[in-house]
Amino acid sequence: MYGSRNLRFISSREFVVGAIVLVAIGAGAALFYDFGFYTPSILQRGSVTVASRNDPTNRLTAATRLIAIRRQFWQVEFPVGVWNDCHQSCGATLRKAAFNE
């Protein structure tokens, strides 16, 4: 198939140029993110409160938001600051994550 005589080593010049291109792409992506080109548009904010099915006195309230990134969808914020998509119901998503129900 391919023998060792068909392999070509890259020069240090090609390696440095490739590394500079990769760093430039990464820096460009970071700048786009920092200046808000990829941040979601928050259309609405709200909250949802759920209670455990096993212990109704055990309640949890979390923030929700309607965002638009090419489409609109609801997200719920878990206590650690992570936003997850609600899919069908923000209450059901929060209950499943918080109480494992």
Q: What is the pLDDT of residues 9-64, one digit of tens each?
A: 778 888 889 999 999 999 888 887 777 676 678 999 999 999 988 888 889 999 99
Closest CA to 82 of 63, 66, 59, 58: 63
Phi first, then psi, for residue 13 (nearest 5°) are -65, -45
Query: Any long-range contacts for 22-31 (C-beta under 8 Å, 24+ apart)?
Result: none
pTM for the predicted model, two decimal places: 0.59
* Residue 12 tokens, joined: 């240090």
**Domain-wise residue ranges, the chain:** 4-34, 41-99
Asked if 94 and 60 touch (Cβ cutoff 8 Å), the reply is: yes
